């Protein structure tokens, strides 16, 4: 870096303090980048790379972008994994002595971006952190600077790393902060599953004493008892790291972060990453987008706040019956009261993102247009309150009872800000007339300029007798009096010659120059005064941010409840009965996503409980509907516990603490994990964490290894769930041998998906019926997939040969009694896979006593063995 000029020296000093970020250095209307920053940014942003100081033989690479278009360029750099430090001019160039002072006013990171075309309005932009305490407790924290949300938690006991992974997947942070000392290997299993930017911070960011003092100072409290955090040291450490990082990067007030929430990770249904992915809750596996997911079907929210709230409810279903029923009753009322629902949804169309508007105002990132958006949102509140007063369900009455129309904020903005203000806040045109007397006076001076000039021109013509005299203006000379050359002799002596043209002379007068200064100063002072007035208005609103956030919170809940009602109306969902017993009974249940794709979707019933129908073994051919059925049961349960209505004719849902799924598998080659290894890891997670209140969905356990190994593992898994866990389970399989489990385990029932054969073809009926299937119809399915005819014919021959070979004493597995007794079941009831009858030939060989056998006897024994072998 050359320091040949004061400006470049200033740049070098600022860059030295922000080596880990690309520095946007403000110069006039552009942000400039130099040296390595310029080389890097020019490639990512696809802008021209130039240089300065070429003539001095020491060129400095540089590139630049217009400051008014910075948001889109910053977003591209952030998406490429970089930080951006915004360096502004922090003093007026007109009053600066020497080089204008500049400093970094904000650092933009993946977890702190505010204005971006890529920022999804219905997604949170979470920043997360976690720490490991000496007591083997994990502290966890998340914050969304754009909305002001700040939550902390602690994880202790068993499987804390697995639970941390679940939480990280649930919150899906854009950026994760880690103490410098944390070993990468210890957390690689957590971080690898996330698409998050990782930032290491000094360990002292997360020290307890520092974090505690930081919280007291920020929230202006004497202790953290009011937040329920006084004894939560690990949570305080994790949250303190985030707060320190936000203070360092935002360099301004964080007043909109005015609440710290401690959440218990066990207060809501736990949904691990596998289940969230397998059930396609937020995005579909095939599309890797919202399209085709449960969220896609349920999201009929109007506001961005409602959209974010819905995502939260889907990933955190409730565990208390009272809370679920309150939501259900509200949805039921909005479903039946069509006019109220339609009215509410129509009003919500005029509500902007109040949470993020509040955040931008607090962070000094708002312009006048943001205040107008806030005003228009606030002006909908009286009508929304009126609609809510017509409702009677407890939750809706509770929401309307905590109402605040924010009338003072509406009045302030209505009186002060023009309806169509400019985008910038430094060039005037924002503030209404009659709001500020001094501003009105300055504007009067500016606006009266034309009249004053016209009057002066008329007066000078009369005084000089030069009828062609005119007064003009340009940016170089300002105001001037222009006289044609033939009239120069008539020019008064007080005229001061300023410019000579081909056919005219231009002059100024003391009066004209004095007025010019007055007008131009008035215009400049108008812009400066408008900016100061705007800042005063904004500061007044900042004091009321907490009220705005409370209203936004209420609106988001109303929006989701109305969305649930709208979805229920559109797709004919019903209100499920939420019960305290352990049963799940669904009549004519449907898959909420697939029923919208398949014109003739076939509904199916489900009965699960912990007494007679704990484990359902489901068989049937591929494409018959097994996987769809498994997912739809899980989704209906999950939807019910969010408070949503469900796709069924009738449904009774006993509370479920967790939903586990083991559906499909794929190789993770980068980790050296095969399909079977992934399958077993997911299965182990289920068996180690499920309880009798859980719902387990298993699809094709054991198929990633040999048939015999697969059957034995699947068999043992079912036994374990039956004997040890007692969890309600749906188990789809092609291992028809598992159907025999129903003969010895009374809580295991067999079901299959019915098909019909016609002229060597199969017809999928999509209907689940009692009993097991003894065929998989793989060859018929292969025909439907387009496998060549010759291969199909040969496959039939091989299949016939296999089916004619019975499982007997010749090496094929047979089901027999277990050699070990399972808890609570008599030995004579046991079944064991693969215990084989003793082979006769092997028995004869084992009888041979080599040490006491003569050569003649040995030949005779060999002859007998050959005869036995031929008989086999």
Q: What is d(CA 631, CA 638) in angstroms, rounded to the nearest whole number?
A: 10
Task: State which H helix or E strand residue 329 sits in.
Answer: helix 321-336
DSSP strands (E only) in 469-562: 470-474, 478-484, 496-500, 504-508
The pair of structure tokens assigned to 464 is 């000089």
The pair of structure tokens assigned to 838 is 């003793």
Q: How many CB atoms lie within 10 A of CB 345?
A: 20
CA 24 → CA 53, 106, 246, distances in Å? 20, 10, 19
Contacts of residue 246, Cβ cutoff 8 Å, sequence gap at least 6: 112, 127, 143, 145, 254, 257
pLDDT at 798: 65
Contacts of residue 770, Cβ cutoff 8 Å, sequence gap at least 6: 749, 750, 751
The pair of structure tokens assigned to 7 is 């400006």
CB-count exposure of residue 481 (10 Å: 0-12, 13-18, 19+): buried
Taking the chain, what is the end-to-end CA distance rounded to the nearest angstrom?
Answer: 89
DSSP strands (E only) in 673-830: 695-699, 728-732, 748-758, 761-770
DSSP lists the bridge partners of residue 691 as: none
Using alpha carbons, select from 103, 552, 593 the residue that is nearest to residue 314. Answer: 593
CA 245 → CA 173, 184, 232, 254, 359, distances in Å? 15, 20, 20, 12, 17
Task: State which H helix or E strand residue 559 sits in.
Answer: helix 545-571
DSSP lists the bridge partners of residue 140 as: 130, 153
Task: State which H helix or E strand residue 201 sits in.
Answer: strand 197-201
HEC readout, 617-684: EEECCCCCCHHHHHHHHHHHHHHHHHCCCECCCEEEEECCCEEEEEECCCCEHHHCECHHHHHHHHHH
Q: What is d(CA 861, CA 872) in angstroms, rounded to the nearest whole number?
A: 17
| Contact between residue 415 and residue 554 where contact means Cβ atoms under 8 Å apart | no
Q: By 3-state DSSP, what share of the chain in percent is helix, strand and coil, each rounded to 5?
A: 45, 20, 35
pTM of this prediction? 0.84
The pair of structure tokens assigned to 212 is 């505690």
pLDDT at 435: 95
| Contact between residue 166 and residue 194 where contact means Cβ atoms under 8 Å apart | no
Q: What is d(CA 124, CA 108) in angstroms, rounded to the nearest whole number?
A: 16
Using alpha carbons, select from 344, 394, 340, 331 the residue that is nearest to residue 644. Answer: 331
pLDDT at 565: 98
Per-10-residue mean pLDDT for the chain, 872 residues long?
75 94 93 95 94 75 92 92 93 80 94 81 93 88 95 89 89 93 82 85 94 95 90 95 96 92 88 90 83 95 97 96 97 97 97 96 93 97 96 96 95 96 91 94 81 87 94 84 94 92 92 83 88 96 96 98 98 96 96 91 95 93 88 97 98 96 59 69 87 93 74 89 94 87 92 81 85 70 72 68 47 37 43 47 75 77 74 57
CA 542 → CA 293, 687, 805, distances in Å? 38, 51, 81
């Amino acid at each position: 870096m050359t320091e040949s000029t004061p400006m470049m020296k200033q740049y070098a000093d600022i860059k030295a303090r922000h080596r880990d970020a690309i520095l946007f250095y403000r110069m006039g209307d552009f942000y400039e980048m130099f040296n390595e920053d310029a080389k890097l940014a020019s490639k990512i942003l696809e802008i021209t790379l130039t240089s300065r100081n070429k003539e001095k033989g020491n060129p400095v690479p540089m590139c630049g972008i217009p400051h008014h278009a910075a948001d889109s360029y910053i977003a591209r750099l952030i998406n490429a994994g970089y930080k951006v430090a915004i360096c502004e001019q922090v003093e007026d160039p007109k009053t600066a002595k020497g080089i204008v002072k500049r400093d970094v006013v904000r650092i933009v990171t993946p977890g702190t971006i505010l204005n971006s075309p890529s920022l999804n309005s219905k997604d949170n932009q979470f920043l997360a952190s976690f720490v490991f305490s000496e007591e083997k407790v994990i502290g966890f924290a998340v914050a969304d600077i754009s909305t002001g949300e700040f939550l902390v938690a602690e994880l202790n006991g068993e499987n804390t790393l697995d639970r941390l992974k679940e939480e990280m997947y649930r919150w899906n942070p854009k950026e994760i902060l880690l103490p410098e000392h944390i070993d990468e290997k210890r957390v690689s299993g957590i971080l690898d599953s996330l698409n998050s930017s990782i930032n290491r911070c000094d360990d002292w960011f997360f020290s307890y004493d520092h974090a505690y003092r930081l919280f007291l100072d920020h929230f202006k409290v004497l202790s953290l008892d009011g937040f329920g955090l006084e004894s939560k040291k690990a949570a305080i450490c994790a949250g303190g790291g985030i707060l320190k990082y936000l203070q360092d990067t935002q360099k301004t007030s964080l007043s909109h972060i005015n609440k710290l929430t401690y959440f218990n990770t066990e207060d809501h249904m736990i949904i691990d990453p596998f289940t969230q992915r397998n059930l396609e809750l937020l995005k579909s596996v095939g599309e890797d987008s919202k399209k085709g997911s449960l969220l896609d079907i349920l999201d009929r929210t109007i506001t961005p706040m409602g959209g974010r709230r819905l995502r939260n409810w889907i990933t955190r279903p409730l565990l208390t019956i009272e809370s679920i029923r309150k939501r259900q009753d509200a949805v039921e009322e909005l479903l039946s009261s069509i006019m109220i629902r339609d009215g509410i949804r129509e009003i919500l169309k005029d509500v902007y993102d109040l949470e993020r508007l509040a955040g931008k105002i607090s962070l000094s990132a708002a312009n006048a247009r943001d205040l107008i958006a806030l005003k228009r949102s606030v002006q909908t509140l009286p009508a929304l309150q009126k609609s809510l007063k017509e409702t009677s369900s407890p939750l809706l009455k509770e929401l309307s009872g905590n109402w605040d129309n924010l009338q003072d904020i509406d009045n302030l903005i209505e009186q002060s800000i023009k309806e169509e203000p400019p985008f910038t806040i430094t060039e005037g045109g924002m503030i209404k007339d009659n709001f500020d007397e001094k501003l009105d006076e300055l504007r009067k001076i500016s606006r009266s300029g034309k009249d004053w000039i016209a009057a002066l021109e008329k007066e000078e013509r009369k005084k000089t007798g030069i009828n062609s005299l005119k007064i003009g203006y340009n940016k170089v000379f300002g105001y001037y009096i222009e006289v044609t050359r033939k009239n120069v002799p008539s020019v008064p002596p007080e005229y001061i010659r300023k410019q000579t043209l081909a056919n005219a002379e231009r002059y100024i007068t003391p009066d004209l120059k004095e007025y010019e200064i007055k007008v131009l100063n008035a215009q400049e002072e108008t812009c400066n005064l408008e900016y100061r007035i705007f800042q005063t208005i904004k500061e007044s609103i900042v004091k009321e941010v907490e009220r705005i956030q409370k209203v936004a919170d209420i609106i988001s809940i109303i929006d989701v409840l109305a969305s649930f009602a709208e979805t229920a109306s559109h797709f004919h969902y019903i209100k499920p009965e939420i019960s305290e017993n352990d049963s799940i009974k669904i009549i004519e249940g449907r898959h909420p996503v697939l029923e919208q794709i398949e014109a003739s979707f076939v509904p199916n019933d489900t009965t699960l409980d912990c007494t007679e129908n704990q484990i359902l073994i489901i068989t049937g051919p591929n494409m018959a509907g097994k996987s769809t059925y498994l997912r739809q049961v899980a989704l209906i349960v999950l939807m019910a516990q969010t408070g949503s209505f469900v796709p069924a004719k009738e449904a009774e849902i006993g509370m479920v603490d967790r939903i586990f799924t083991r559906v499909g598998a794929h190789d993770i080659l980068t980790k050296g994990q095969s399909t079977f290894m992934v399958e077993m890891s997911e299965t182990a997670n289920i068996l180690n964490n499920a309880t009798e209140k859980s719902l387990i969905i298993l699809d094709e356990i054991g198929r990633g290894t040999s048939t015999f190994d697969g059957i034995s593992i699947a068999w043992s898994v079912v036994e374990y769930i039956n004997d040890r866990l007692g969890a309600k389970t749906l188990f789809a399989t092609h291992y028809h041998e598992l159907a025999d489990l129903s003969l010895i385990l009374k809580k295991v029932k067999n079901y299959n998906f019915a098909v019909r054969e016609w002229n060597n073809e199969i017809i999928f009926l999509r209907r689940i019926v009692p009993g097991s299937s003894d065929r998989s119809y793989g060859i018929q399915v292969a025909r439907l997939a387009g496998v060549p005819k010759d291969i199909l014919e040969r496959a039939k021959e091989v299949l016939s040969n296999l089916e004619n070979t019975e499982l007997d004493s010749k090496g094929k597995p047979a089901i027999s009694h277990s050699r070990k007794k399972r808890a609570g079941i008599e030995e004579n009831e046991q079944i064991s896979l693969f215990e084989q009858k003793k082979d006769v030939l092997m028995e004869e060989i084992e009888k041979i006593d080599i040490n006491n056998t003569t050569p003649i006897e040995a030949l005779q024994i060999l002859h007998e063995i050959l005869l036995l072998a031929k008989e086999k």
